[in-house]
Structure 1
Amino acid sequence: MNSRFPTRAARVTPLEAARHYASCGWPVATGAYVTETGCSCGDVWCGEPGRHPIGTTWRDTVTTDVQVLSIRWVLTPRASVVVETGTVFDVVPVSHADGELLFRLWEGQGVPPVPVLSAAAGVLVFTCAHRDSESGWMVLPPVCDSKGADPSWLVPVTSANACRLPTAAQLSRWLADTPGRARTCGLAGGSAAAGAAVRSMRCRGRLR
Protein backbone atom coordinates (compact mmCIF):
# COMPACT_ATOMS: atom_id res chain seq x y z
CA MET A 1 0.00 0.00 0.00
CA ASN A 2 1.45 3.33 -0.98
CA SER A 3 2.05 5.95 1.69
CA ARG A 4 -0.40 8.85 1.77
CA PHE A 5 2.29 11.19 3.07
CA PRO A 6 2.94 14.04 0.60
CA THR A 7 6.27 14.63 -1.07
CA ARG A 8 8.60 16.60 1.18
CA ALA A 9 8.98 20.32 0.56
CA ALA A 10 12.02 21.74 -1.17
CA ARG A 11 14.81 23.01 1.07
CA VAL A 12 15.07 26.73 1.70
CA THR A 13 17.59 28.93 3.50
CA PRO A 14 17.16 29.75 7.21
CA LEU A 15 16.41 33.38 6.33
CA GLU A 16 13.76 32.39 3.77
CA ALA A 17 12.20 30.04 6.29
CA ALA A 18 12.27 32.60 9.11
CA ARG A 19 10.60 35.24 6.94
CA HIS A 20 7.97 32.74 5.83
CA TYR A 21 7.11 31.57 9.36
CA ALA A 22 6.90 35.18 10.53
CA SER A 23 4.59 36.05 7.62
CA CYS A 24 2.31 33.26 8.85
CA GLY A 25 2.14 34.93 12.26
CA TRP A 26 4.57 32.63 14.09
CA PRO A 27 7.02 34.42 16.45
CA VAL A 28 10.62 33.68 15.41
CA ALA A 29 14.05 34.02 17.03
CA THR A 30 17.57 33.15 15.87
CA GLY A 31 18.97 29.95 17.31
CA ALA A 32 22.31 28.23 17.61
CA TYR A 33 24.00 26.55 14.66
CA VAL A 34 26.46 23.73 14.04
CA THR A 35 30.15 24.59 13.77
CA GLU A 36 33.23 22.52 12.93
CA THR A 37 33.84 22.00 16.65
CA GLY A 38 30.25 21.44 17.76
CA CYS A 39 27.68 24.10 18.60
CA SER A 40 27.90 27.86 18.23
CA CYS A 41 26.82 28.20 21.87
CA GLY A 42 30.35 27.23 22.86
CA ASP A 43 29.31 24.47 25.24
CA VAL A 44 31.52 21.48 24.46
CA TRP A 45 28.93 19.24 26.15
CA CYS A 46 25.97 20.67 24.22
CA GLY A 47 23.47 17.87 23.74
CA GLU A 48 21.63 19.51 20.84
CA PRO A 49 24.19 21.25 18.60
CA GLY A 50 22.50 23.87 16.46
CA ARG A 51 19.06 22.93 17.75
CA HIS A 52 18.24 25.32 20.59
CA PRO A 53 17.62 29.00 21.38
CA ILE A 54 20.47 31.35 22.24
CA GLY A 55 20.67 32.26 25.92
CA THR A 56 17.91 32.43 28.51
CA THR A 57 16.35 35.67 27.25
CA TRP A 58 15.50 34.40 23.77
CA ARG A 59 11.77 35.05 24.37
CA ASP A 60 12.57 38.76 24.45
CA THR A 61 13.82 38.52 20.87
CA VAL A 62 10.96 36.68 19.17
CA THR A 63 9.29 38.71 16.46
CA THR A 64 7.18 38.49 13.33
CA ASP A 65 8.85 41.57 11.83
CA VAL A 66 10.45 40.25 8.65
CA GLN A 67 12.75 43.26 8.33
CA VAL A 68 14.17 42.67 11.79
CA LEU A 69 14.63 38.99 11.01
CA SER A 70 16.40 39.82 7.74
CA ILE A 71 18.95 41.90 9.64
CA ARG A 72 19.50 39.17 12.22
CA TRP A 73 20.11 36.49 9.60
CA VAL A 74 22.46 38.75 7.66
CA LEU A 75 24.51 38.90 10.87
CA THR A 76 24.22 35.14 11.57
CA PRO A 77 23.19 33.46 8.29
CA ARG A 78 23.65 29.94 9.65
CA ALA A 79 21.43 30.46 12.70
CA SER A 80 18.69 27.89 13.18
CA VAL A 81 15.07 29.03 13.15
CA VAL A 82 13.54 28.95 16.63
CA VAL A 83 9.79 29.49 17.00
CA GLU A 84 7.87 30.04 20.20
CA THR A 85 5.21 27.46 21.03
CA GLY A 86 2.21 27.92 23.27
CA THR A 87 1.33 31.41 22.08
CA VAL A 88 0.03 30.87 18.55
CA PHE A 89 0.32 27.11 18.09
CA ASP A 90 1.04 23.86 19.91
CA VAL A 91 2.52 20.64 18.54
CA VAL A 92 1.11 17.16 19.10
CA PRO A 93 3.23 14.08 18.26
CA VAL A 94 1.36 11.16 16.73
CA SER A 95 2.59 7.83 15.40
CA HIS A 96 3.41 7.24 11.74
CA ALA A 97 0.33 4.98 11.56
CA ASP A 98 -1.96 7.69 12.90
CA GLY A 99 -0.34 10.20 10.57
CA GLU A 100 -1.30 7.96 7.65
CA LEU A 101 -4.85 7.73 9.01
CA LEU A 102 -5.09 11.51 9.27
CA PHE A 103 -4.02 12.00 5.66
CA ARG A 104 -6.54 9.41 4.51
CA LEU A 105 -9.28 11.12 6.51
CA TRP A 106 -8.42 14.58 5.17
CA GLU A 107 -8.28 13.24 1.62
CA GLY A 108 -11.55 11.32 1.94
CA GLN A 109 -13.47 14.21 3.52
CA GLY A 110 -11.89 16.92 1.38
CA VAL A 111 -10.40 18.59 4.46
CA PRO A 112 -7.39 20.83 3.71
CA PRO A 113 -4.48 19.34 5.68
CA VAL A 114 -2.92 21.28 8.53
CA PRO A 115 0.86 21.72 8.97
CA VAL A 116 2.60 18.39 9.64
CA LEU A 117 6.30 17.85 10.30
CA SER A 118 8.12 14.54 9.90
CA ALA A 119 9.87 12.93 12.87
CA ALA A 120 11.81 9.71 13.37
CA ALA A 121 9.34 8.48 15.99
CA GLY A 122 6.20 9.69 14.20
CA VAL A 123 4.86 12.98 12.87
CA LEU A 124 4.17 16.32 14.54
CA VAL A 125 0.72 17.81 13.95
CA PHE A 126 0.31 21.54 14.57
CA THR A 127 -2.72 22.66 16.58
CA CYS A 128 -3.82 26.04 17.86
CA ALA A 129 -2.67 27.14 21.28
CA HIS A 130 -5.24 27.23 24.06
CA ARG A 131 -5.58 29.17 27.29
CA ASP A 132 -3.75 26.50 29.29
CA SER A 133 -0.83 26.30 26.86
CA GLU A 134 2.62 26.80 28.31
CA SER A 135 5.26 28.76 26.45
CA GLY A 136 8.01 26.71 24.90
CA TRP A 137 10.15 26.50 21.79
CA MET A 138 11.08 24.28 18.88
CA VAL A 139 13.47 24.47 15.94
CA LEU A 140 11.82 24.33 12.52
CA PRO A 141 13.32 23.45 9.12
CA PRO A 142 15.81 23.99 7.77
CA VAL A 143 18.05 22.75 10.57
CA CYS A 144 21.02 20.40 10.31
CA ASP A 145 22.99 18.53 12.91
CA SER A 146 26.60 17.47 12.50
CA LYS A 147 25.47 14.54 10.31
CA GLY A 148 23.29 16.68 8.08
CA ALA A 149 20.01 15.16 9.26
CA ASP A 150 16.99 17.43 9.41
CA PRO A 151 13.24 17.39 10.04
CA SER A 152 11.10 18.05 6.98
CA TRP A 153 7.63 19.40 6.31
CA LEU A 154 5.13 16.83 5.08
CA VAL A 155 2.55 19.62 4.90
CA PRO A 156 4.33 23.01 4.96
CA VAL A 157 2.81 25.85 6.92
CA THR A 158 1.15 28.51 4.78
CA SER A 159 -0.63 31.75 5.56
CA ALA A 160 -3.87 29.86 4.83
CA ASN A 161 -3.46 26.75 7.01
CA ALA A 162 -1.76 28.73 9.80
CA CYS A 163 -5.09 30.55 10.25
CA ARG A 164 -7.15 27.39 10.62
CA LEU A 165 -5.17 25.19 12.97
CA PRO A 166 -7.34 22.60 14.71
CA THR A 167 -7.70 22.34 18.46
CA ALA A 168 -6.21 19.34 20.21
CA ALA A 169 -9.80 18.16 20.79
CA GLN A 170 -10.51 18.35 17.04
CA LEU A 171 -7.36 16.32 16.36
CA SER A 172 -8.55 13.69 18.83
CA ARG A 173 -11.96 13.59 17.12
CA TRP A 174 -10.32 13.14 13.72
CA LEU A 175 -8.36 10.18 15.02
CA ALA A 176 -11.43 8.75 16.72
CA ASP A 177 -13.29 8.93 13.39
CA THR A 178 -10.65 6.86 11.59
CA PRO A 179 -10.59 3.04 11.48
CA GLY A 180 -8.25 1.38 13.93
CA ARG A 181 -7.14 2.28 17.41
CA ALA A 182 -5.80 5.82 17.90
CA ARG A 183 -2.15 5.90 18.84
CA THR A 184 -1.82 9.58 19.67
CA CYS A 185 0.80 10.53 22.23
CA GLY A 186 -1.18 12.19 25.03
CA LEU A 187 0.08 15.70 25.66
CA ALA A 188 -2.44 17.18 28.04
CA GLY A 189 0.31 19.36 29.46
CA GLY A 190 0.37 21.60 26.38
CA SER A 191 3.46 23.12 24.81
CA ALA A 192 5.85 22.25 27.61
CA ALA A 193 5.01 18.58 27.25
CA ALA A 194 5.10 18.84 23.47
CA GLY A 195 8.49 20.49 23.62
CA ALA A 196 9.77 17.76 25.91
CA ALA A 197 8.49 15.12 23.52
CA VAL A 198 10.10 16.86 20.55
CA ARG A 199 13.42 17.20 22.38
CA SER A 200 13.18 13.54 23.42
CA MET A 201 12.72 12.60 19.76
CA ARG A 202 15.84 14.57 18.87
CA CYS A 203 17.94 13.02 21.61
CA ARG A 204 16.74 9.45 21.26
CA GLY A 205 15.58 9.07 17.68
CA ARG A 206 16.76 12.28 15.96
CA LEU A 207 14.14 14.27 14.15
CA ARG A 208 14.50 13.80 10.41
Structure 2
Amino acid sequence: MEHAVRYAEERHWDVFPGTWLEAVDGVPRCTCGEARCHAPGAHPVRSSWSGEATGSATTARRMWAKEPRASVLMPTGRTFDAIEVPETAGCLALARLERMELTLGPVICAPDGRMLFLVLPGATAKVPDLVRKLGWSPSALALRARGEGDWVAAPPTRLGTRGSVQWARQPTAANRWLPDAEEIVPTLAYACSRV
Protein backbone atom coordinates (compact mmCIF):
# COMPACT_ATOMS: atom_id res chain seq x y z
CA MET A 1 0.00 0.00 0.00
CA GLU A 2 2.77 2.41 0.96
CA HIS A 3 4.36 2.26 -2.50
CA ALA A 4 1.08 2.56 -4.41
CA VAL A 5 0.06 5.58 -2.33
CA ARG A 6 3.47 7.21 -2.80
CA TYR A 7 3.34 6.77 -6.61
CA ALA A 8 -0.11 8.35 -6.73
CA GLU A 9 0.64 11.09 -4.23
CA GLU A 10 4.17 12.13 -5.18
CA ARG A 11 4.30 11.36 -8.92
CA HIS A 12 0.59 11.55 -9.84
CA TRP A 13 0.92 8.16 -11.50
CA ASP A 14 -2.18 6.00 -11.84
CA VAL A 15 -1.95 2.69 -9.97
CA PHE A 16 -4.12 -0.39 -9.67
CA PRO A 17 -3.87 -3.62 -7.66
CA GLY A 18 -2.89 -6.80 -9.44
CA THR A 19 -2.52 -10.46 -8.59
CA TRP A 20 -0.10 -11.67 -5.93
CA LEU A 21 1.68 -14.88 -4.95
CA GLU A 22 0.31 -17.39 -2.46
CA ALA A 23 1.95 -20.57 -1.23
CA VAL A 24 0.08 -23.70 -2.35
CA ASP A 25 1.61 -26.84 -0.82
CA GLY A 26 4.74 -24.80 -0.17
CA VAL A 27 5.03 -23.63 -3.78
CA PRO A 28 4.40 -19.95 -4.66
CA ARG A 29 1.52 -19.67 -7.13
CA CYS A 30 -0.23 -16.73 -8.75
CA THR A 31 -3.67 -15.96 -7.34
CA CYS A 32 -5.10 -16.10 -10.88
CA GLY A 33 -4.98 -19.90 -10.59
CA GLU A 34 -3.35 -20.47 -14.00
CA ALA A 35 -0.69 -23.19 -13.81
CA ARG A 36 1.32 -21.55 -16.62
CA CYS A 37 0.77 -17.92 -15.67
CA HIS A 38 2.85 -15.57 -17.87
CA ALA A 39 3.52 -13.06 -15.05
CA PRO A 40 2.93 -14.87 -11.74
CA GLY A 41 1.96 -12.40 -9.03
CA ALA A 42 2.19 -9.34 -11.26
CA HIS A 43 -0.69 -8.90 -13.71
CA PRO A 44 -4.20 -7.41 -13.68
CA VAL A 45 -6.89 -9.34 -11.83
CA ARG A 46 -9.77 -8.23 -14.06
CA SER A 47 -10.13 -7.16 -17.69
CA SER A 48 -11.63 -3.88 -16.43
CA TRP A 49 -8.29 -2.89 -14.82
CA SER A 50 -7.86 0.20 -17.00
CA GLY A 51 -10.99 1.82 -15.60
CA GLU A 52 -10.02 0.90 -12.04
CA ALA A 53 -6.61 2.62 -12.14
CA THR A 54 -6.44 5.71 -9.95
CA GLY A 55 -4.12 8.64 -9.36
CA SER A 56 -5.79 9.36 -6.02
CA ALA A 57 -3.78 8.44 -2.93
CA THR A 58 -7.01 8.11 -0.93
CA THR A 59 -8.51 5.67 -3.43
CA ALA A 60 -5.23 3.73 -3.62
CA ARG A 61 -5.27 3.36 0.19
CA ARG A 62 -8.83 2.04 -0.01
CA MET A 63 -7.94 -0.44 -2.80
CA TRP A 64 -4.93 -1.91 -0.99
CA ALA A 65 -6.76 -1.94 2.35
CA LYS A 66 -9.11 -4.50 0.74
CA GLU A 67 -6.20 -6.63 -0.47
CA PRO A 68 -2.86 -5.61 1.06
CA ARG A 69 -0.95 -8.39 -0.73
CA ALA A 70 -1.85 -7.12 -4.21
CA SER A 71 0.95 -6.23 -6.59
CA VAL A 72 1.38 -2.59 -7.65
CA LEU A 73 0.69 -2.11 -11.34
CA MET A 74 0.72 1.14 -13.35
CA PRO A 75 -1.00 1.69 -16.71
CA THR A 76 1.13 3.02 -19.55
CA GLY A 77 -0.12 5.55 -22.08
CA ARG A 78 -1.36 8.01 -19.47
CA THR A 79 1.39 9.85 -17.60
CA PHE A 80 4.16 7.80 -19.18
CA ASP A 81 4.98 5.13 -21.72
CA ALA A 82 7.75 2.58 -21.18
CA ILE A 83 10.43 1.40 -23.58
CA GLU A 84 11.37 -2.17 -22.75
CA VAL A 85 14.75 -3.72 -23.61
CA PRO A 86 16.75 -6.74 -22.41
CA GLU A 87 18.60 -6.02 -19.18
CA THR A 88 22.05 -6.34 -20.77
CA ALA A 89 21.17 -3.76 -23.42
CA GLY A 90 19.48 -1.59 -20.80
CA CYS A 91 22.59 -1.49 -18.60
CA LEU A 92 24.78 -0.64 -21.59
CA ALA A 93 22.38 2.10 -22.71
CA LEU A 94 21.94 3.48 -19.19
CA ALA A 95 25.70 3.88 -18.74
CA ARG A 96 26.01 5.55 -22.14
CA LEU A 97 23.05 7.90 -21.56
CA GLU A 98 24.44 8.93 -18.18
CA ARG A 99 27.87 9.64 -19.73
CA MET A 100 26.10 11.79 -22.35
CA GLU A 101 24.46 13.64 -19.42
CA LEU A 102 20.99 13.24 -20.91
CA THR A 103 18.04 13.82 -18.63
CA LEU A 104 16.58 10.42 -17.89
CA GLY A 105 13.38 9.42 -16.19
CA PRO A 106 12.99 6.52 -13.78
CA VAL A 107 14.10 3.10 -15.02
CA ILE A 108 12.58 -0.19 -13.85
CA CYS A 109 14.59 -3.40 -13.64
CA ALA A 110 12.46 -6.56 -13.71
CA PRO A 111 13.72 -9.91 -12.37
CA ASP A 112 12.88 -11.59 -15.67
CA GLY A 113 15.81 -9.84 -17.38
CA ARG A 114 14.12 -6.71 -18.74
CA MET A 115 14.58 -2.99 -18.17
CA LEU A 116 11.88 -0.40 -18.77
CA PHE A 117 12.75 3.26 -19.43
CA LEU A 118 9.88 5.61 -18.60
CA VAL A 119 9.28 8.26 -21.26
CA LEU A 120 6.57 10.73 -22.23
CA PRO A 121 3.31 9.22 -23.51
CA GLY A 122 3.14 8.64 -27.27
CA ALA A 123 6.25 6.47 -27.59
CA THR A 124 4.38 3.50 -29.06
CA ALA A 125 3.51 5.55 -32.14
CA LYS A 126 7.06 6.93 -32.53
CA VAL A 127 9.37 4.01 -31.79
CA PRO A 128 8.92 1.92 -34.99
CA ASP A 129 9.67 4.92 -37.23
CA LEU A 130 12.59 6.02 -35.07
CA VAL A 131 14.12 2.55 -35.27
CA ARG A 132 13.63 2.44 -39.07
CA LYS A 133 15.28 5.87 -39.46
CA LEU A 134 18.28 4.48 -37.57
CA GLY A 135 18.58 1.68 -40.15
CA TRP A 136 17.09 -1.26 -38.26
CA SER A 137 13.89 -3.19 -38.70
CA PRO A 138 11.71 -2.83 -35.58
CA SER A 139 11.26 -6.61 -35.50
CA ALA A 140 15.04 -7.16 -35.59
CA LEU A 141 15.64 -5.50 -32.22
CA ALA A 142 14.44 -6.61 -28.78
CA LEU A 143 13.05 -3.14 -28.15
CA ARG A 144 9.34 -2.69 -27.42
CA ALA A 145 7.28 0.34 -26.48
CA ARG A 146 4.42 -0.04 -24.02
CA GLY A 147 1.66 2.53 -24.22
CA GLU A 148 -2.11 2.86 -24.22
CA GLY A 149 -3.82 -0.33 -23.02
CA ASP A 150 -0.69 -1.82 -21.45
CA TRP A 151 0.81 -1.71 -17.95
CA VAL A 152 4.04 -2.20 -16.02
CA ALA A 153 4.69 -3.80 -12.64
CA ALA A 154 6.04 -1.23 -10.18
CA PRO A 155 8.62 -1.82 -7.47
CA PRO A 156 8.52 -3.69 -5.10
CA THR A 157 6.13 -6.07 -6.88
CA ARG A 158 7.30 -9.68 -6.72
CA LEU A 159 7.39 -11.49 -10.07
CA GLY A 160 7.14 -15.23 -9.58
CA THR A 161 10.08 -16.94 -7.90
CA ARG A 162 12.61 -14.76 -9.75
CA GLY A 163 12.48 -11.84 -7.34
CA SER A 164 11.08 -8.35 -7.08
CA VAL A 165 10.82 -5.53 -9.57
CA GLN A 166 13.28 -2.78 -8.57
CA TRP A 167 14.32 0.70 -9.62
CA ALA A 168 17.53 0.92 -11.64
CA ARG A 169 16.96 4.72 -11.43
CA GLN A 170 14.51 5.72 -8.72
CA PRO A 171 11.89 8.43 -9.17
CA THR A 172 13.31 11.64 -7.68
CA ALA A 173 12.66 15.35 -7.91
CA ALA A 174 15.52 15.52 -10.43
CA ASN A 175 13.84 13.14 -12.89
CA ARG A 176 10.25 14.32 -12.52
CA TRP A 177 10.21 15.45 -16.18
CA LEU A 178 10.39 12.48 -18.49
CA PRO A 179 12.38 12.41 -21.73
CA ASP A 180 10.74 12.00 -25.11
CA ALA A 181 11.31 8.64 -26.82
CA GLU A 182 13.34 10.42 -29.53
CA GLU A 183 15.96 11.35 -26.94
CA ILE A 184 16.80 7.82 -25.84
CA VAL A 185 15.72 5.43 -28.62
CA PRO A 186 18.94 5.85 -30.66
CA THR A 187 21.06 4.75 -27.69
CA LEU A 188 18.62 1.96 -26.72
CA ALA A 189 18.49 0.66 -30.32
CA TYR A 190 22.27 0.71 -30.58
CA ALA A 191 22.61 -1.17 -27.28
CA CYS A 192 20.03 -3.76 -28.42
CA SER A 193 21.97 -4.30 -31.65
CA ARG A 194 25.14 -5.02 -29.65
CA VAL A 195 23.77 -7.76 -27.38
TM over 0.5, shorter chain: yes
List aligned pairs for 1:106-121, cutoff 5 A.
Answer: 106=101, 111-119=102-110, 121=113
Aligned to 1:151: 165
Structure 1: runs of 5+ lacking an equivalent: 1-14, 186-208
2:3 pairs with 1:20: no
The aligned residue for residue 72 of structure 1 is: 63
Residue 183 of structure 1 corresponds to: 191
Confirm or deny: 8 A CA contact 1:93 1:184 kept in the other structure.
Answer: no
Q: Does 1:54 align with 2:45?
A: yes
What is the aligned-residue identity percentage?
28
Please report how far the alpha carbon of residue 45 of structure 1 lies from its aligned counterpart in structure 2 after TM superposition.
Answer: 3.4
The structural deviation recorded for 1:143 is: 1.3
Q: 1:123 is aligned with what amino acid?
A: M
Distance 1:135 1:146 in 2: 23
Alpha-carbon offset, residue 113 of structure 1 = 3.7
- Alignment match, 1:31: 18
Give the 3 Å change call, closer, same or farther, for CA 128–184 of structure 1 in structure 2.
Answer: farther
Number of residue pairs matched? Answer: 161
**Residues 95-116 of structure 1: CA distance to partner in whole angstroms, max 9, x if unpaired?**
121121112222xxxx554211
- Structure with more strand by fraction: 2
Question: Equivalent residue for 2:117?
Answer: 125
Distance change (3 Å), C-alpha of 1:145 and 1:168: closer
TM-score (norm 1): 0.68
Contact 1:32/1:54 (8 A) holds in 2: yes
Query: Post-superposition shift, 1:16?
Result: 1.3
3-state DSSP of counterpart to 1:42? coil
Where structure 2 has 5 or more consecutive residues not aligned to the other structure, the ranges are 126-146
Specify the code of the residue in structure 1 equivalent to 2:19.
A
Shift of 1:121: 3.8
| TM-score in terms of structure 2 length | 0.72
Counterpart of 2:72 in structure 1: which amino acid?
V
Task: Please tell me the root mean square deviation across aligned C-alpha atoms, in Å.
Answer: 2.4
Secondary structure of 1:32 counterpart: coil
